Amino acid sequence: MFVDPLFSEELLQHIWQFGLFNQHRLSTIKGEPVTIIHAGTLNRDAGPDFTAARINIGGVEWAGNVELHYRSSDWRKHGHHRNQRYDNVILHVVFENDAPALNIPCLELQQRIPKMLLKRYQQLKEDATFVPCAPLLPRITEEDWLSWNGKLMRERFERKTSLFMNWLQQNHFNWEEVCFRAMAQGFGMPVNTEAFLQLAQSMPFVLLARQRPHLQRLEALLFGQAGMLAGSFKDAYPQQLQEEYRFQQHKHQLESLPSHGWRWLRMRPSAFPTMRIACFAALLHNTPHLFSRILEIEDLPSLEKLFFVDPSPYWEDHYRFDIPALRTAGIGKAGVHHILINTVIPLLHLYGRHMGLLQYQQRAVRFLQQLPPENNRVIRAWAAENTKATSAWDSQSLLQLKQYYCEEKKCLQCAVGKRLIRGADVNECREDELGWTGEEEWEEGVLF
């Protein structure tokens, strides 16, 4: 008897759903002939695994539910004999029949499932390489990859914008305030994301909005709230910021954050939190009503230009207070692109989706397709597997695929993984086997 230690009911559901077993002369364990007219609809809620199935058993056509288990004894182990939800089960499908027959017809599949299918499934689950099925990706047709790519990006947008949506609901849909928080988070990525977000939330948004015409006051509030103006300074500029912050702190009853929350190690000086805060202050100073300005911009070069900001003169030769530098660099093109990809574009797409304005969703998609791919460890590893991203759209979908499918071993929910398990040529698979539905495909370049 073949027993796969990694065999799961999820795999058995997949096998049943797509008929990946020998269906010639099927019969129940009592010898009744079985013909599958319709396997049913996979049920992701409580209750039987498949609903609305139609199956001919012993010459009689039945309509109802189908329940699947690894072993037939699992029916009682799971307490189904005491649950009314399972009263309408017309067929019990199992990998191995190890218990006395129930009143419900039982179909055993152990000898009907190709052993190679089980072996491939086990190999994928056990393989510790970067992506076990990466060599298969280049064989997917462009049309199929676009559809699968679209599903990945739909998930990616939803993950990135769920926090924005929570903020909107909390502040009665003040898009400018949400944009401010999102930008702060974006300027802190990747290592100071949480610290920047705490900084943005440590003071009223309206207070910063009033100080936008005065860059020095903006810096005083931001650096002071960040806990970076405590102690004594040699340079005149931080002394001025310190004095301004003390006045604002007393006036508005502000409480600064602890300075130890900021991370400085193993990063380029241009990514130091001091430089990012200075550039963030310059952006707020240069662009009143930042979110409204983002909505107005229709081309990528203009959007990039908006975020290429020069901080105040002090930061031309300093990366930190009181520590001179021969030459400094601002946020840089890679940093700007990182903010656009992870903050600006998802926020733009969310606005279009929430307001029902197609043009903003299309613009967000277009910007991602125009931006170059990200250059990080994951994307370089994909390239080493001959799967190269040509745009930020590609790199984002590959990050989603790696993080939420490959690393979590969700091979049966991945179009590529399912094809590899079946061992079929990717061009021979039906569209309904790919793992997405029509409503998740792209229409006019917008993911719904």
Q: What is the DSSP letter of 270?
A: G
**Of 359, 382, 413, which closes a domain?**
359
Say if residue 343 is in the same domain as residue 423: no
How far, in Å, CA of 386 to CA of 138, rounded?
Answer: 7
Is 4 domain-assigned?
no
Is 119 domain-assigned?
no
Is 77 domain-assigned?
yes
pLDDT on residue 327: 78
Nearest to 325 by CA among 314, 310, 334, 336: 314
**Of 305, 329, 359, which closes a domain?**
359
How far, in Å, CA of 339 to CA of 341, rounded?
Answer: 6
Residues of the chain with pLDDT under 50: 1-6, 424-448
pLDDT on residue 258: 93
Say if residue 321 is in the same domain as residue 192: yes
pLDDT on residue 385: 81
Is 319 domain-assigned?
yes
Nearest to 195 by CA among 261, 267, 268, 265: 261
**Of 359, 389, 419, which closes a domain?**
359
Say if residue 255 is in the same domain as residue 348: yes
Question: The tokens of 8 are what?
Answer: 């799961």
Is 121 domain-assigned?
no
Say if residue 406 is in the same domain as residue 330: no
Could you tell me if 256 and 227 are in contact, meaning their C-beta atoms sit under 8 angstroms apart?
Answer: yes
Amino acid letter, residue 280: F
Say if residue 201 is in the same domain as residue 345: yes
pLDDT on residue 438: 32
Nearest to 422 by CA among 133, 201, 121: 121
Domain count, the chain: 3
pLDDT on residue 429: 37
209: CB partners within 8 A, 6+ apart: 176
Is 66 domain-assigned?
yes
**60-71/89-96 β-pairing:** parallel
Say if residue 192 is in the same domain as residue 284: yes
Could you tell me if 186 and 306 are in contact, meaning their C-beta atoms sit under 8 angstroms apart?
Answer: no
Q: What is the DSSP letter of 406?
A: I
Is 166 domain-assigned?
no
Say if residue 257 is in the same domain as residue 338: yes
pLDDT on residue 210: 93
Is 364 domain-assigned?
no
Domain of 99 in residue numbering reads as: 9-113
Say if residue 186 is in the same domain as residue 224: yes
How far, in Å, CA of 90 to CA of 99, rounded?
Answer: 18
Quickly count: other Cβ atoms within 10 Å of residue 81's Cβ.
11
Three-state DSSP class for residue 163: helix
Say if residue 209 is in the same domain as residue 302: yes
Say if residue 352 is in the same domain as residue 434: no
Give the predicted TM-score (pTM) of the model. Answer: 0.73
Say if residue 148 is in the same domain as residue 252: no
Say if residue 391 is in the same domain as residue 344: no
How far, in Å, CA of 8 to CA of 414, rounded?
Answer: 16
Number of helices (H), then strands (E), belonging to the chain: the values are 18, 10
